[in-house]
Amino acid sequence: MGGEGGGDSGDSVIHFVFVHGASHGAWCWYKLTTLLDAAGFKSTTVDLTGAGINLTDSNTVFDPDHYNFPLFSLLSDLPPHHKVILVGHSMGGGSVTAALCKFPDKISMAVYLAAYMVQPGSASSTHNSPMHLGEEDIWEYIYGEGVNETPTGVIMKEQFIRHRYYSQSPLEDVTLASKLLRPAPVRAFLGFDKLSANPAAEKIPRVCIKTAKDNQFSMLRQDRMVENWPPSQVYVLEESDHSPFFSVPTTLFIYLLRAISFLQS
């Protein structure tokens, strides 16, 4: 689990919880959480199972609940009546939706940031996700159970990382990220399409923040997700690549404040 800051756990403090995408970890939010903490908000980042500094081998993570366990544990341990703003990036959107279904009483708003936003019970295809594995040869697969079995892990090939993830981001962030990315658990992601419909999850306000210069999750696919499960608010980061926490952290900070202003009005 990553760092926390900016106030106590009382209900008067707005509390953001950030969920990373495939191959990333709690480390990717460092610019944004610095801004939020300095502004007096509370922020918590989490390493999902096999990501960041979580020591689990991602090739042993086959189930979405196993992958999401650190997030679920965090939410279950929140004090009574304490709610969070849950923010998920890229494939972290699947984790956010799973959390909406399991802990609707702990979440006041869900924010999908260039993220996989699929309605529970819709049985949508992962071909619409930001990590569509069939599009071209940009992925390196790990076959932990043999080459004739479904891959257990996947990571983007090094030569594609800058263009796909960080085309508008500072070079020093690209350099750091390239050393920290870890293989993602393919089989756990396949389970994101199998979430059952949940009326309580549908009542929680959702925000979609799109990324206009995204070479990994095209605007067409982002628009399709908005059309299929319309959120209450939609924003566009016009100058952002797939990783706005690096490329436009200040603008992202401002958009998050706009989004939560609707909860306070």
Chunk the chain into consecutive blocks of 10 residues (it has 265) and report each block's average pLDDT, rounded to whole numbers.
Answer: 43 90 98 98 98 97 97 97 97 97 97 95 66 73 94 96 98 98 95 89 97 97 96 98 98 97 81
**20 annotated active-site:** no
**90 annotated active-site:** yes
**214 annotated active-site:** yes
**DSSP annotation string for 25-77:** -GGGGHHHHHHHHHTT-EEEEEPPTTSTT--S-GGG--SHHHHTHHHHHHHHT
What pLDDT shows up at residue 125?
Answer: 54
The active-site residue, picked from 43, 90, 129, 169, is 90
Backbone conformation region of residue 43, classed left if phi is above 0, alpha if psi is from -120 to 50, else beta? beta
The active-site residue, picked from 214, 240, 241, 243, is 214
Q: How far apart are the first and last CA of the chain?
A: 32
Residue 252 DSSP label: H
Q: Which residues contact 260 (CB under 8 A, 6 or more apart)?
A: 14, 85, 109
Q: From the CB of residue 136, how many other CB atoms can be counted at a distance below 10 Å?
A: 8
C-alpha distances out from residue 23 to 77, 179, 244, Å: 26, 11, 16
Q: What is the pTM of this model?
A: 0.93
What pLDDT shows up at residue 13?
Answer: 87
What pLDDT shows up at residue 144?
Answer: 95
Structural domain spans, the chain: 15-262
The active-site residue, picked from 47, 193, 242, 247, is 242
What pLDDT shows up at residue 6?
Answer: 38
At the top level of CATH, which class does the domain 15-262 belong to?
Answer: alpha beta
